[in-house]
Structure 1
Amino acid sequence: MRIIYIPIDERPCNTLVVKRIANSSRDLELVMPPIHLLSNKKTPAAVERLWSWIIDNASEVDSLILSLDMLIYGGLIPSRLHEMEKKTGDKWLKRLRDFQRQFPNISIYASNMIMRTPKYSSNDEEPDYYADWGRELFLRAYLTDKEEKHLISEEESRQLQEISHSLPNTYIENYERRRRFNSRMNQCVLELVKDGVVTFLAIPQDDSAEFGYTAKDQHAVLKRRGELQLYNQVHIYPGADEVGATLLARAYNDYYHSTPSIYPIWSSTLGAQLIPLYEDRPFYESLKAHTMAAGCRLTDDPDEADLILAYNTPGKIMQESWEQYQKDITYDSFRNLSMFVENMKGFVCQGKQLIIADSAYANGGDHELIIRLDQAGILDKMLSYKGWNTNGNTLGTTISQGVLGLSHTNTLKIKENIIYHLLDDYFYQAELRMKLAEEILPAYQLTYFDLKDQAEMIDRIRDKLLLKRFRETITNSFNQTSIQIHTYAPWNRMFECGIELEVQHY
């Protein structure tokens, strides 16, 4: 099977991670455009050249995984910055219809984001005025929505009046004009699904909130989906950067007419009902959504399951990963990792295929879980370990790796992928990211979101620390391997890192 893959942006989480998952299966070849055709953070992709590249390569593939944010706006961040007019959006909708007529046998698996509204002030990924007025833009829409639903308190009403008085109208108009364009495109793409141009559409929600701009846009899309009765072909759920991996699993399952079954086990009693940070629904509801979006199903019978999903969740209170050394007591009192790991070991010993979604903390993995897995001798005997960014990011890539790892698997690639995510998801994101930001960056007058011209120096410091922490922590697993790494800083910031990983097996 050959698939063209157009990601939502150029960062490793949307390119390299998906490519690694694809490479773990011998049944699949993922074809990606040259990196120079994609976006560069706020600089849009060369969309005309990208479209030409798609046309030139389409005759040799079975499916197309397409980010409409990349194709229409030039990338995820440009989708929040553009000044497009209706005719530009209509042009791309027509091109997709023409593509389907030209290549009727190619299935299109598409993603299209509902534009997020961060609740904090920062212009790192938003318009420049969001640096000063982002929080107010979010709160104004959030409180207005509550007011319209007659749920606003007196204090909130006063706060809304103050914000409305101070927030410049020009910023409101600019922001809302862009949102109207994007919301219209969200709904127009539903027509492409209805007409059979797009086979399956995923609409992940980035930084969801119960009220405000994003919630209202989501409601409009849900309403239109209902009118068109596209419940099976259009899925809407919390997530973002995992969507390429999810659509990869969906396309793979459709092509091979498979529906893998997943049996979940939980680290805590309340975990399934807790709402993770940055999302708007309980863990179990996200599990249902991501499972179905990937073309899988849940089962309550472990004996019939193709995959055992070990879902590591908080006990009662969820924290950021870098806070786990001062973790809330409920991580122990409302969670039993001893039994959780014993259950995992039991399934591994039975020959079951185990995947781990490490979502106990936001933005990084769980130190205690990794130590316990290494001590139990199963850290290198599973199909997948992932624990990065949001719960949706972790869950979607975990399920995708499970699907691609079920048959004709490249076992060495599976082990390399586990090592990659231990380095990135735990050792970098949970341990070293904030340590470097607090202890190293200030000495060079650098900030978390701007490494200036010193990124290479920070990368080499990170390389040494990552290897040191990996070697002194993982002592019982991957004993027949040696690793070398070279990290880099996408978007010249500390939030994520790319890892060039070399693994020798002996």
Structure 2
Amino acid sequence: MKKKIILIPLDERPCNQEFQKLLTIDTDYEVLTPPLEYLGLQKKPGDIDKIWNWLHKEVKNAFGLILSIDTLLYGGLVPSRLHNQGVEELLKRIDDLKAIKTDNKDLKIYAFDTIMRTPSYSSDDEEPDYYNVWGKDIHDFGALTHKVEVNVASESDKQLLSEIKSRLPMEFYQDYTDRRKKNVEVTKRIIDFVKDETIDFMVIPQDDATPFGLTAKDQIVIRQYIHDQKTQLKAYMYPDADGVANTLLARLINVDKGIRPSFYVKYASEAGKLVIPCLEDRHIIETIKYQILAVNGVLTSCVENADVVLMINVAPKMFDVRFSYLKGIEHDVFRNLIEYIEYADYAVNTLKKPVIIGDVAYANGSDLELVDLIYQKGLTYKLAGYAAWNSSSNSLATAIAQGIIYNIYGKTKSHLEFLAMRFIEDAGYQSIVRQIVVDQLPSMGMDFFNIDGPRGKVATMVKEGLQKYINEELPKEYPVKIVECYQPWSRMYEVGLKVKIKD
């Protein structure tokens, strides 16, 4: 009988509640999530009471619990940025976690609780309504105020701060910062639970972080609290959000099996180690260290002794594939992609190592030059993991988790299907088909964030485009079929996809 892992996901999107089920199909573990109708929809919060009741029922015979605090308290990731609950109400609700532990004393609880993001642009797609007009000013006011506080603001920074202060409605800024303060108090309580061992391990992911601003200031407060409570070894904080459930799943399996895999990390560009990825606040090399530690791994400098080879496709500058698929000196001269792919081939075919490719040269999509080389080398279905689907950290978390499971279970059918899905989604959709369809939306009376529902004409166009990609680009080693294709939040940012390898 499979061991039961309960997942309270960050929200209802496939990356947060389907990837984990797909990854564990051919393992000793089964991932269960609350019914989809309990989880809400984008800005609409999930039914918190029903989620709690379901959790109490299911957890009694579970082996592990992977827990999104954002969903358990606010109803999801986006609702965590919109709620009007009081601090006392939130703290009272979260205290019920102790009863969960009482119900099942052997239960391993791994939790994650995001630090609220502060987008640098004006949009209310995932933020309060006023962010559509005042979002950029709210972000800039927070960032510039932070710079002033740490004495690094230039005269032009101070001038801009004064201009923003004269026009920004302070009631909106107050609402935004008050909510942040409440969320930070909740995070502190979760850290207390780590200290008293109600929670065994936690990650505090920074959703869309930058070096200065409201998110960075929250991070400073929380980091100090972690230090004060002496929970540094069990409460990690680094950039991510949508990838953390994958990471905690991989950790849970490694810990259960007594495995501490060693990782040899290889970069496509030495200078790329120091790139700060889009939507993140630190050099990628530092985030990767946490990603490896979080799955219960360690780094090694000797490839021969490594259990896993993690190959990072990165350049000294990162672009967002949605807006500018640019290639220049950063991607041609300051990295060596040929040496990178030859090493991947050597590690797979000569060293016989599990090789994970974190394709993060671009945000929100694959590096098509690398994908072409992978296809040419015949490595597509020999890899232990691959991802390039969103932010750098989201992609790395997904690829590493798949690699961890491959390291234990090998080349299963579900592993091959997940690999195929990654190339179809990350390269096919995000780097090719998405923009082709987006270009046609204005003539259809739609735009990037507003299409005709999850399974309308646009979803059909996407499926047709992806089938064309499979027919013309994807290697033919296995016959791959799309069994589901939809747009989860009725927008073009992501795609919901399931594929099968035909028997």
Same fold (TM over 0.5): yes
The aligned counterpart of 1:232 is 233
Partner of 1:245: 246
AA aligned opposite 1:19: K
Give, in whole Å, the separation in 1 of the partners of 2:310 and 2:324.
Answer: 23
What's the offset of the Cα at 1:434?
A: 2.0
Query: How many angstroms does 1:412 deviate by?
Result: 1.2
Matches within 5 A, 1:118-197: 118-197=119-198
Aligned amino acid, residue 466 of structure 1 = L
Asked if 2 retains the 8 angstrom alpha-carbon contact of 1:317 and 1:328, the reply is: no
* 1:22 to 2:24 alignment: yes
1:485–1:332 CA distance, 2 compared to 1 (3 A): farther
2: CA distance between counterparts of 1:410 and 1:381? Answer: 8
Corresponding residue number in structure 2 for 1:74: 75
Instruction: Report what 1:9 is aligned to.
Output: 11
C-alpha displacement of 1:122: 0.2
3-state SS, counterpart of residue 262 of structure 1: strand
| Cα offset, 1:325, TM superposition | 5.1
Following the alignment from structure 1 to structure 2, what is the Cα–Cα distance between the partners of residues 165 and 55? 50
Partner Cα separation in structure 1 for residue 455 and residue 27 of structure 2: 36
Distance 1:453 1:428 in 2: 18
Question: What is the identity, as a one-letter code, of the residue corresponding to 1:495?
Answer: Y
Counterpart in the other structure of 2:347: 347
Output the CA distance in 1 between the equivalents of 2:322 and 2:169: 36
Paired position in structure 2 for 1:302: 303
Q: Does 1:487 align with 2:485?
A: yes
| 1:10 CA drift (Å) | 0.5
Rounded to whole Å, the distance in 2 between the matches of 1:26 and 1:326 is 40
Is 1:39–1:70's contact at 8 Å kept on the other side of the alignment? no
- Structure 1 CA distance for aligned equivalents of residues 120 and 453 of structure 2: 30
Q: CA deviation at 1:93?
A: 2.4
Alignment partner of 1:152: what SS?
Answer: coil
Shift of residue 410, structure 1, vs aligned partner: 5.6
Q: Which has the higher contact order (CA 8 A, sep 6+)?
A: 1
3-state DSSP of counterpart to 2:96: helix
Map 1:197-208 to 2 at 5 A.
197-208=198-209
Per-residue CA deviations over 1:178-208 (Å, capped at 9, x if unaligned) read 1111111111111111111110010010111
Asked whether the 8 Å contact 1:26–1:409 carries over to 2, the reply is: no
Instruction: Tell me, yes or no, if structure 1 residue 441 matches structure 2 residue 436.
Output: no
* Distance in 2 separating the partners of 1:358 and 1:294: 19
* Cα shift at 1:109: 0.2
8 A contact 2:87–2:185 mirrored in 1 = no
Q: Deviations over 1:297-331 (max 9, x none)?
A: 111111121111111111x2211224675412221
2:494 matched residue in structure 1: 496
Do structure 1's residue 289 and structure 2's residue 285 form an aligned pair? no
Report percent identity of matched pairs. 34
Q: Which amino acid aligns with 2:141?
A: R
- Which residue number in structure 2 is paired with residue 276 of structure 1? 277
Displacement of 1:20 in angstroms is 1.5
1:396 maps to 2:397? yes
Question: Could you say what the CA RMSD is over the residues aligned between the two structures, in angstroms?
Answer: 1.4
Partner Cα distance (1:349, 1:503) in 2 = 24
C-alpha distance in 1, partners of 2:258/2:401?
16
SS class of match (2:204): strand
In structure 1, C-alpha distance between the alignment counterparts of 2:6 and 2:335, rounded to whole Å: 42
Give ranges in structure 1 of 5+ residues lacking alignment: none
Larger mean CA deviation between 216-225 and 250-259 belongs to 250-259
In structure 2, distance between residues paired with 1:80 and 1:111: 16
How many residues align? The count is: 500
Q: For the residues of structure 1 that align with 2:449 and 2:40, how far apart are their CA atoms?
A: 18
How far apart are the structure 2 equivalents of 1:470 and 1:345? 23
Question: Normalising to structure 2: TM-score of the pair?
Answer: 0.97
Task: Decide which moves more: 143-152 or 3-12.
Answer: 143-152
Q: How far has the Cα of 1:148 moved from its partner?
A: 1.3
Which deviations, in whole Å up to 9, do the C-alpha atoms of 1:131-159 show, x marking residues without a partner?
Answer: 00000011111111111112111111111
Counterpart secondary structure, 2:480: strand
Cα gap change, 1:135 to 1:322, in 2 (>3 Å): closer
Query: 1:44, 1:78 within 8 Å by CA — same for their partners in 2?
Result: yes
User: How many Å separate the matches in 2 of 1:252 and 1:452?
Assistant: 40
- Asked if the contact 2:278–2:318 (Cα under 8 Å) also holds between the matched residues in 1, the reply is yes
Counterparts of residues 412-431 of structure 1 (less than 5 Å): 412-431=413-432
| In 1: Cα distance, 2:58 partner to 2:410 partner | 26
Structure 2 match to 1:450: 450
Query: Residue 117 and residue 326 in structure 1: after superposition, are their counterparts in 2 closer, same or farther (change >3 A)?
Result: closer
Distance 1:172 1:157 in 2: 18
Which region of structure 1 is more displaced relative to structure 2, 405-414 or 28-37?
A: 405-414
- 2:460 and 2:52 mapped to 1: Cα distance? 37
Q: Please list the CA deviations of residues 252-283 of structure 1 after superposition, one character each: whole Å capped at 9, or x if unmatched.
A: 11111111111111111212122111111111
| Larger deviation, residues 205-214 vs 481-490 | 481-490
For 2:495, the aligned partner's letter is C
SS of 2:6 mapped into structure 1: strand
1:326-350 Cα offsets, whole Å, 9 max, x none, are: 4122211111111111111111113
Q: How far 1:457 sits from its partner (Å)?
A: 0.3
When residues 82 and 325 of structure 1 are mapped into structure 2, their CA distance, relative to the original with a 3 A threshold, is closer
Which stretch has the larger CA shift, 445-454 or 282-291?
Answer: 445-454
Q: For 1:389, what is the secondary structure of its paired residue?
A: coil
Counterpart-to-counterpart distance in 1, 2:427 and 2:409: 28
Output the CA distance in 2 between the equivalents of 1:93 and 1:432: 42
Q: Which digits, 9 at most, give the CA deviation of each residue in 1:480-505, with x for residues without a partner? A: 32323431111110000101323204
Amino acid across the alignment from 2:442: P
Please say if residues 27 and 408 of structure 1, whose CA atoms lie closer than 8 Å, have aligned partners that are also in contact.
no
Residue 262 of structure 2 is aligned to residue 264 of structure 1:
no
How far, CA to CA, are the matches of 1:420 and 1:492 in structure 2?
Answer: 20
Letter in 1 for 2:252: A
Residues 365 and 431, structure 2, Cα contact 8 Å, conserved in 1: yes
2:115 matched residue in structure 1: 114
Q: Secondary structure at the match of 2:276?
A: coil
CA distance in 1, matches of 2:173, 2:265: 44
In the alignment, the residues of structure 2 paired with residue 500 and residue 365 of structure 1 have an alpha-carbon distance, to the nearest angstrom, of 18
